[in-house]
Copies of this chain bind each other. A is one copy, B any other.
Amino acid sequence: MILARVIGNVWSTRKEESLRGLKFLVVQPVTLTYDEAGLPKLMEFGNSLVAADQIGAGEDEIVMVASGSSARQGLSNHNIPVDATIVGIIDKETFGA
């Protein structure tokens, strides 16, 4: 899974029927590394993407995103065209907050 920061929403009135009711968040991938003292550091990488969210992640929260066919396993209907889903919100303590 990748870690990503929630940075916005997208709305799509004209879309696949099976996607109705799902919330779509814009997320910016971040990479978690640790400095010499072992303190966690987050750094942005790559391009933002859109992920379905059933967990209720809020703006700026760091989330765990599953991609590909695995992204569909967390949804109530596994047979809908979603290839990225937020599957967890990372506890702030993980980053020493």
- Residues on A close to B: CB < 8 A? 1-3, 7-16, 18-19, 24, 26, 28-29, 31-34, 40, 45-51, 55-56, 64, 66-74, 78-85, 87-91, 93-94
- Contacting pair A1 B84 (CB below 8 A): yes
Q: How many copies does the complex hold?
A: 5
Q: Distance in Å from the Cβ of A22 to the closest Cβ of chain B?
A: 10
Q: Specify which chain B residues have a CB less than 8 angstroms from the CB of A8 in the assembled complex.
A: 32, 34, 40
Q: Specify which chain B residues have a CB less than 8 angstroms from the CB of A70 in the assembled complex.
A: 68-69, 71-72, 80-83
Given A13-B91, A55-B16, A89-B14, verify A83-B71 contact (CB < 8 Å).
yes
- Contacting pair B34 A93 (CB below 8 A): no
Q: Specify which chain B residues have a CB less than 8 angstroms from the CB of A82 in the assembled complex.
A: 1, 66, 70, 73
